[in-house]
Amino acid sequence: MALLRILQYPDERLHLAAERVTVFDEALKSLVADMKETMYAAPGVGLAATQVDVQKQVIVIDLSEAKDKPMILVNPEITAMSGKSDVEEGCLSVPGIFENVDRAERVTVTAQDDEGNTFEIHADGLLSICIQHEIDHLKGKVFVEYLSRLKQTRILAKMKKLARERM
Ligand code: K1U
Ligand code: ZN
């Protein structure tokens, strides 16, 4: 397994759309294993392949306390949404920024596992928010893009300062 580098906003590659996975092979399992290790190390509760510069529709999520219940969502599609939610979100690609985002309260999602088996999830609470956040990543959208222009400008300035300090 390997720790992958997480792209930092405003890296342009975070805006690339991911492609559907058509081959369920050892390379896919290896990517999933690396993504899980990277998510746990960050630490985070979710990670989309886009964030590690892989343009494939792959997401890992683990909301368990013990970090022992990873969910793998390949080619996820939201088939139903209901209700309204306004919950604070964070993002491993935008460290130190936490903002409320308007989302659906509940989602129904169809996805495949890393062997290609199709399954359906009915999610609410943090799982619903996390799934919507990660699917946005696969479409090239970062959560800060839901915020006001003013907030986006401030976040951009903060991220550029952080990047300068890292150099
Ligand atoms: O996509 C990502 O960058 C991962 C992100 C997922 C997420 C969290 C909360 C709301 C929406 C989406 C994170 O994991 S941010 C870090 C975080 O929330 C966390 C970190 C350690 C312990 C518990 C939570
Ligand atoms: Zn994120």
Mean pLDDT across 65-73: 98
Residues at CB less than 6 angstroms from ligand 1: 43-48, 89-93, 129-130, 133-134, 137
What tens digit of pLDDT does each residue of 127-165 get? Answer: 999 999 999 999 999 999 999 999 999 999 999 999 999
Question: Domain residue spans in the chain?
Answer: 12-166
Distance of CA 90 from the midpoint of ligand 2 (Å): 7
Q: 125-151 burial, b if ≥16 CB within 10 A, otherwise e? A: ebbbbbbbbbbbbbebbbbbebbeeee
CATH classification for the domain delimited by 12-166, as one of 3.20.20.70, 3.30.2320.80, 3.10.20.30, 3.90.45.10: 3.90.45.10
Distance of CA 41 from the midpoint of ligand 2 (Å): 15
How much is the pLDDT for 119?
98
pTM flag (> 0.75):
yes
**Catalytic residue selected from 19, 65, 77, 134:** 134
Q: Closest Cα to atom 16, ligand 1: which residue?
A: 44
DSSP state of 153: H
What tens digit of pLDDT does each residue of 8-59 get? Answer: 999 999 999 999 999 999 999 999 999 999 999 999 999 999 999 999 999 9
Residue 167, pLDDT above cutoff 90: no
How much is the pLDDT for 166?
85
How much is the pLDDT for 12?
98
Distance of CA 89 from the midpoint of ligand 1 (Å): 7
Distance CA 68, CA 89 (A): 22
Mean pLDDT across 103-111: 98
How much is the pLDDT for 164?
92
